Amino acid sequence: MTRIIGVMSGKGGVGKTTLVSNLGVSLSQGGKKVGIIDANLSGANLGLHFGLISYPTSVHDVMRGNTSLTDAMYKHPSGIDIVPASLSIEDLDVEPSNIRQQIMESMSDKDYVLIDCATGLDRETMKAMEMVDDVILVTHPELPTISDALRTKTIAKKYDKNVLGIVLNRVSKSDELKKENISAFFDLPVIGVIPEDHSIRRSIEAKNPITLEHPKHQISQEIHCVANYIMGKKCAQKRSFMDKIKSFFRK
């Protein structure tokens, strides 16, 4: 059965879309059939991560009722089916709608459908929340962003959604020790810790997710761990240099 996962954040700039694009690739590399949908109607850019710049139909047309979801799907060489949102200013007035039924019908062959949700808690986010089965929260390891993500978690629970866990993104070395505190704060597992790295920007400029551009990069490995968590598999992560130092002094 198709599992619809919403990737959400309390505020913009946390790397939510980058996670969606790369997580989709990683799940596909794990042998799963994957679709991804850009539900960020007023801030669309998911398609750009895959080099989709000009396309005749989008999720905006689907929500208008002008076309089917199948007609708005574009196959990427990685095997993922992408439903981009429109980049046109003229489409900003489209009313968000719950297209879950169309997803279940048109993407019934998929194992996973990832929804790149709008940030904040406006009508776009609420409609996206209605579509999904599970939620992944993306945040920076800093208090204001964590506070916004906590509000998103509260809303997800009110909608009876299963919150899978937290992905800490753009983490610096000084933030690494906050993982346990953040997990306790949310009462959720931290399922990924993705470091800040210029390679992400370069992969976006190349219009090729880093999991394809540099599959052995530390970021790619962390995203593979998130994919494994979703698929119910264990992830054998390499210990960081700091972890090895701590282990040495414990002996």
Domains (ranges, CATH) in the chain?
Answer: 3-250 (3.40.50.300)
Q: How many CB atoms lie within 10 A of CB 26?
A: 28
Alpha helices in 30-96, H assignment, sequence order: 59-64
Lateral strand order in the sheet of 34-38? 74-75, 81-83, 34-38, 112-116, 3-8, 134-139, 162-171, 190-195
Which pLDDT score is estimated for 237?
56
Which pLDDT score is estimated for 201?
92
Contacts of residue 215, defined as CB under 8 A and 6 or more positions apart, other chains included, come to: 29
C-alpha–C-alpha distance, residues 167 and 121, integer Å: 19
Question: DSSP letter string over 31-98?
Answer: T--EEEEE--TTS--TGGGGT----S--HHHHHHTSS-TGGG-EE-TTS-EEEPPP--GGGTTPPP--
Distance of CA 247 to CAs 172, 239, 240, Å? 21, 10, 11
Question: DSSP letter string over 95-115?
Answer: PP---HHHHHHHTTT-SEEEE
| pTM of full prediction above 0.85 | yes
Residue 22: DSSP 8-state = H
Q: Can you count the helices (H) and strands (E) in the chain? A: 10, 8
pLDDT tens-digit profile of 76-92? 999 999 999 999 988 88
- Beta strands 74-75 and 81-83: pairing type? antiparallel
Which pLDDT score is estimated for 178?
73
Tokens of 63: 């929500």
The three-state secondary structure class of 194 is strand
**CA-based R_g, the chain, Å:** 18
186 Cα distance to chain centroid: 18
Which pLDDT score is estimated for 236?
62
8 Å CB contact between 214 and 200: no
C-alpha–C-alpha distance, residues 28 and 227, integer Å: 9
Which residues of the chain carry a pLDDT beneath 70? 176-177, 236-251
C-alpha–C-alpha distance, residues 175 and 28, integer Å: 30
